[in-house]
Amino acid sequence: MMRQRVFIFALMAVLAALLAPGFNAPLRAATDDDDSSMRLHESETIKKTFTLSAEHRALDVDNIFGSIDVVGGQGNQVQLVVNKTIYAESKDKLEAAKKEVTLDITEQPDLLKLYVNGPFRCDCNNGQGRGGCVNWHGDSGYSVKYDFQLQVPHNIEVRLKTVNSGHVNVRDVAGNFSVHNVNGGIEMQNVAGSGTAKTVNGGVKVSFVENPRENSDFGTINVPVQVPVASAAISPSAASVNRKISFIEVLAINTSAGLPVFELFINDDNGH
């Protein structure tokens, strides 16, 4: 089988675009080493059930520290389990974390939004502070991690974002998707729909059960991207839209031009 190679060069300025929209500055990564200096730990598990009665449904999770795991299933309910962990330098800092960092929940017939709010959020949406951007101002003396586990309707649209200390995994979801991470990987299994999946320091692996309905965008800076699909809609400038992408992989960084190099292995419908 002959494989045709298509090389795509993208400016390093794409780094900014890989971040969730509205991010103003990178956060200090809350790694295990960072948290080890905080002598107080407190954990809590939050469990809730929501019903999305509309025909078109969307899930929006806007996290900062921690992972997001989403699994599709039957019905119109969303089952939520959140493992919340606070790391703090002192009892006062622990109490401050409880007051300052919250999980804000918006429930509508067609939308469930889970928004981790706190002093790290910048006031970037007409004074409402809910634009989703992040602005870290020094050491707060605490770190709050939210790990989300969600069971959702199979055909739901997902919009998922996290920044540090976690991955984003999606499985068995047929709706469109917008998935962003910064310091962690993205893995999507048995998905349909179309959309974007991008990170900076982590891998991107996506497997489709049917053809994406529209052009889709997958990217990372420092780790390979793998997107095996049956047949993907790609830019006509790259190759014919009726061809099949076996996978997409970041090959290298062109240091002289500052350009990452993506190689697409493309097979046509006749297997050539």
Q: What is the pLDDT of residue 239?
A: 30
3-state secondary structure at position 35: helix
Q: What is the pLDDT of residue 268?
A: 34
- SS3 for 43-110 is EEEEEEEEECCCCCCEEEEECCECCEEEEEECCCEEEEEEEEEEEECCHHHHHHHHHHCEEEEEEECC
Q: What is the pLDDT of residue 217?
A: 85
Q: Indicate whether this model's pTM tops 0.85.
A: no
Radius of gyration of the chain (CA): 20
Q: For residues 195 and 178, is the Cβ–Cβ distance under 8 A? A: yes
Q: What is the pLDDT of residue 258?
A: 40
Q: What is the pLDDT of residue 144?
A: 96
Q: What is the pLDDT of residue 109?
A: 96
Query: Phi first, then psi: what are they for 119, rounded to 5°?
Result: -65, -10
10-residue mean pLDDT series, the chain (272 residues)? 36 37 39 62 97 96 97 96 96 96 97 95 54 59 96 97 96 96 93 91 87 82 63 35 36 36 36 40
Residue 225's nearest CA partner among 209, 248, 196, 246 is 248
* Extents of the domains making up the chain: 1-19+211-272, 22-181
Strands 40-51 and 77-88: antiparallel
Q: 72-76 contacts: CB < 8 A, separation 24 or more? A: 72/151, 72/152, 72/153, 72/154, 72/155, 72/156, 72/171, 72/172, 72/173, 72/174, 73/151, 73/152, 73/153, 73/154, 73/172, 74/153, 74/154, 75/153, 76/51, 76/52, 76/153
